[in-house]
Amino acid sequence: MSSVHEDQTILEEHSPNAPFHGGYYWFPAPAPDGVQWSLLTCEDLGFAPEQGHPDLWSAVIDRLATAWGKNATALRRSLKTQYAGLPRGRVTRPGRYLILHGDDAPTADWLTIVIRRFRLEGSRYRVLFDEHECRLPYDRRRVESALGISFGESPKSRSGSKGWINER
């Protein structure tokens, strides 16, 4: 027999508007003024929350190929191990939600976007810097070279980027 807490968790996990967790990538797409960034969640990519960034990466590469007009097979071959070449993070749920990030999101309002896309409004969460979510310089250079662009630097001094807790 399940507990009320377990029943609520099951309902939340199967509700289309319930908060969810898993990995995410910041996705660059061509724009008239350079690059437009959007958030791709594990759900957008068709993966379970437990899947790691290396698992998500092949789907991200395919989307990059489409967005940038590149050959998907060649891009997969070129970038197959560079899964740390784009800004990324993860939302976990060890009781309350944790938003893990590498402090290198490409937009100043990144936290608001992550909260909205993972439907965390009204949920308890904590935001934590995790060095394992940082882009690796070699991977970043390989992605930029393969796409023929430069992403530039990420905005700094983002409010709420380290350790802030929503006590709702």
Spell out the domain ranges in the chain.
19-156
For residue 126, name the pLDDT band (cuts at 50, 70, 90). very high
Q: Tell me, what amino acid is at 96?
A: R
Q: How far apart are CA 104 and CA 47, in angstroms?
A: 23
Instruction: Tell me which DSSP letter residue 108 carries.
Output: T
Structure tokens at 158: 């983002």
Which residue in 77, 18, 84, 24 sits closest to 49, CA to CA? 24
Model confidence pLDDT, tens digit, residues 16-63: 789 999 999 999 999 998 899 999 999 999 999 999 999 999 999 999
Task: Give me the pLDDT at residue 61, please.
Answer: 98
pTM listed for this prediction: 0.83
- Structure confidence at residue 94 (pLDDT): 84
What are 92's two structure tokens?
Answer: 């976990």
